[in-house]
Homo-oligomer: A and B are copies of this chain.
């Protein structure tokens, strides 16, 4: 409807299953086991809220990138990334100060290199998650011609 604010809603559910563990669910999607991480008295080898937060930024960076790649008809050969979130004490409490994301992108045409680099610069402004956090997001990229 004209004039109505555009809004999207994302719903998830959580159930505590004992100790510092739980299961998250979202309609139609596979359940994910989650837990408090070891450094805060929790468990190893289970996705923590900190991991989910860092990966939400990492995945949004990719989906934003892919949106522009499709729009500009760039032929992408591969895209991988590693993200590292740094949580630091600010006063008495922890906060995520920085998330570094290292991208490795393979393209097949030298002509696409500048366009890909230009897209990467635009990501932080357009990524919905980056726009909702105080954490600084630093993107480091390597664009390889293969």
Contact = CB atoms under 8 A, between A and B. Distances in A.
Among A37, A40, A50, the most chain B Cβ lie within 10 Å of the Cβ of A50
A55 B62 CA distance: 19
A83 B133 CA distance: 18
Interface in A24-55: 24, 26, 28-30, 32-37, 39-42, 44-55
Chain copies in complex:
2
Given A14-B62, A56-B56, A131-B95, A29 B8 contact: no
Given A36-B67, A67-B41, A134-B133, A12 B128 contact: no
Given A36-B67, A46-B29, A62 B22 contact: yes
A89 to B, nearest CB: 5
